[in-house]
A and B are shown apart, each in its own frame.
Chain A
Amino acid sequence: MPSPLKCSLCPQPATVHLTQIVNGKVHKVDLCEACAQAKGVTDPSGFSLAELLHKASLNPGPSAAGLRCGQCGFTAGDFKKQGRFGCPQCYETFAELLAPLLDNMHKGVTHTGKVPRRALERKSLYDRLTKLELDLTEAIKGERYEDAARARDEIHQVRQTIAPNTRPEKR
């Protein structure tokens, strides 16, 4: 932790440190005098840390504000406005923005449920196939015919494993 702590909402040094328990989880927030006043932290009845944290993370700092998803063009501003992402890739693009939000939103931040095992197996088979095809081309180019034969056999094997009707379409 860098010292002195910075305010969670602005770059001023933090002088007010709060701990609140929401849904059995401990949340900490650090604020400067001015932000603490502005957010009504001094009035405990009308103050919710969860709400504050939520707003803090929805107000992206200068670095997050400039982010744009390479896949779908979604921006941090779009997410703030809509509360939804544009595409699966957004989860990587806006990972930092999302992390504090998830903490408030869910029981945990890591998935422990079902895994699409067959889809993942299929993906790894296709990755393997792509690599083998590359190996084959390289081997032929380098006139390493034993390697080429091995690659060809393995390609045949992988293709056998992948059922013919599950070929993904080209993207």
Chain B
Amino acid sequence: MKIADLLATPSELTDSASSKTAIVLMTRIRLARNLAGRAFPGRAKAAQREQVLETCRDALTSATPLRRAASAEVAALTDLDKQMLVERHLISRELGSSTGQAGVVINKEQTVSVMINEEDHLRLQVLRSGLQLKKAWAAIDSLDTELEERLDYAFSPTLGYLTACPTNLGTGMRASAMMHLPALVISGQMERVVRAVNQLGLVVRGLFGEGSDASGSIFQISNQTTLGESEEQILQRLGSVLNTINEHELNARAKLLETDAHKLLDKIGRAYGILQHSHLLSSSEAMNLLSLLRLGIDLGVFPAVARAVIDRLLIECQPGHLQHAAKGMFEPGQRDVLRAGLLRTEFANFAKPDFMVVGRN
């Protein structure tokens, strides 16, 4: 399978069957692994990186979940391919900008992806829609165990899996959940949540990781520390914090409806109008509008089946996907025209809002 074929099919996130969950959009777990006795990618010479790439690719493509996977060298991918893979959370921006001897292997369902020669020799990732920490862990744990049959990992009994950056040392595991938290944002509580979460050794980031903004009120919450606790302990801590945030978001929604329902419904109604009729939409504005409609769905203003449409559009209105659909490269200004066009078409046949539902509850 080729990466191009893969990009033509829906990802786990754009697949309409998968959007069942209201607040947690998806769960991801990644493991950083390195080969024993080899320089880390940042230090390795071209020939050494080439060797690592080959060794890892062979081991990966014979592992059960990746047997029929798409595999490519980063150098062979177009800028647009790379951008779309980033937008689907299948590769990092860093891998996309890497120069030579780096690769990626992605399964057909786009739930497992492995980067080779990013910061570490291997970055394994498993992605699941909704909140599925246990299932995601089981999947990545078994892939990792299978790889261990063929690869000699750099491991120390006291320090655990050795990684290029000591911040990933130990388990090498980063588990994260992508959460939609519009009510906490609207009611100005997000800053407090971020601070509380930080004190618990977890990090909050925007949709596309470090340094990205939180357009669409979508946040990634992940563990910061990787050493001194087992994977299960880390996942348990993360899981309980995610549940707490979930509750806070639900409370914030109830509070907004109780104190100022008109203000909230006005936002949702206006977002609906703009999505149906606008002719210029920036990526960030589109995300914020889609986020309000998603909130509307959760509140019952729109039917629940529409959630899948919103989740698909959240990805399809990203610059890479937009240009892929339009078959060309476009300046940001032209993309705003394309984006508004796409959304007008989608929302022409979208369900009508039923604001009475909220009043009745």
Interface residues of A (CB under 8 A from B): 23, 71-72, 74, 82-89, 91, 98, 101-102, 105-120, 122-123, 163, 165-166, 168-169, 171
- With a cutoff of 8 Å between Cβ atoms, the chain B residues found around residue A122 in the complex are 152
Contact B162 A111 (CB under 8 A): no
Interface status of B199 (Cβ within 8 A of chain A): yes
Whole-angstrom distance from the CB of A92 to the nearest CB of chain B? 8
Contact across chains for A106 and B226 when beta carbons are under 8 A apart: yes
Q: List 9 A-B contacts (CB under 8 A).
A: A86-B43, A87-B39, A88-B36, A102-B227, A111-B160, A113-B230, A115-B157, A165-B150, A171-B37
Q: Does chain A have a CB within 8 A of B56?
A: no
Of B119, B154, B229, which is within 8 A of A108 by CB? B229
Structural contact, A88 and B42, CB atoms closer than 8 A: no
Query: B162 — which chain A residues lie within 8 A by C-beta?
Result: 88, 91
A87 to B158 alpha-carbon distance, docked (Å) = 17
Partner of A110, one of B40, B43, B158: B158
B103 contacts partner chain A, Cβ-Cβ < 8 Å: no
Q: Which 5 A-B pairs have the closest CB atoms?
A: A108-B228, A111-B160, A88-B154, A107-B228, A86-B43
Q: Are A85 and B164 in contact (CB under 8 A)?
A: yes
Which B residues lie within 8 Å of A88 (CB)? Answer: 34, 36-38, 40, 154, 156, 162
Is B215 positioned at the interface, with any CB of A under 8 Å from its CB?
no
Q: Mark B164-184, 1 if CB is under 8 A from A, else 0.
A: 111101110100000000000
Count of chain B residues with a beta carbon within 8 Å of a chain A beta carbon: 46
* A166 to B58 Cα, complex, angstroms: 12
Residue in B closest to A89 when the chains form the complex, CB atoms:
B37
Binding site for A on B (CB under 8 A): 34, 36-40, 42-43, 55, 119, 141, 144-145, 148-162, 164-167, 169-171, 173, 199, 201, 225-231, 233
Interface pair B40/A85, CB less than 8 Å apart = yes
- Judging by beta carbons under 8 Å apart, are A105 and B166 in contact? yes
**Which residue of chain A has the shortest Cβ distance to B35 in the bound complex?**
A88
Do B152 and A123 have beta carbons less than 8 Å apart?
Answer: yes
Q: How far is the CB of B265 from chain A (nearest CB, A)?
A: 42
Contacting pair A111 B43 (CB below 8 A): no
User: Which of A89, A108, A115, A169 contacts B155 (CB under 8 A)?
Assistant: A115
Question: Could you say which of B145, B159, B227 contacts A107, with CB atoms under 8 Å apart?
Answer: B227
A116 to B34, CA, bound (A): 12
Contact between chains at B40 and A105 (CB < 8 Å)? no
- Complex contacts, A116 vs chain B, CB 8 Å: 148, 153, 155, 161
